[in-house]
Amino acid sequence: MSSGHDPVYPEYETEASQTSKLLRKFKETPFVPIGMAGFAMVVGYGLYKLKHRGNMKMSLHLIHMRVAAQGFVVGAITCGVLYSMFREYVVKPKE
């Protein structure tokens, strides 16, 4: 056994603030916050347009809003994957 209190996973048990962890994650994967922000914007726009939907049924309006939000998130995930592949295989092949 060790004599002192050594952390099992030191990278997880550091005394970093939640904000610094969040900023580090956003720098590693920049398309995640873009997808989250786009999702929030689509939902906000859909809720705004809910009053002015005219003859459209509520269920149809909600289906359109859901499809638009999911499409934005899937597009952001796809861009993120392509960006990480580009960074891994095109920019960094110096091995």
> Which letter, b or e, does each residue of 6-33 get, where b requires 16 or more Cβ atoms within 10 Å of its Cβ?
eeeeeeeeeeeeeeeeeeeeeeeeebee
Residue 15's pLDDT is 61
pLDDT score of 80 more than 60: yes
pLDDT score of 67 more than 80: yes
Could you read off the pLDDT of 22-65 as tens digits, one per residue? 788 788 777 878 888 888 898 888 888 888 878 888 889 889 88
8-state DSSP, 29: -
Query: pLDDT confidence of 95, banded at 50, 70, 90?
Result: low
Residue 6's pLDDT is 61
Where in the chain are the domains?
Answer: 12-54, 55-94
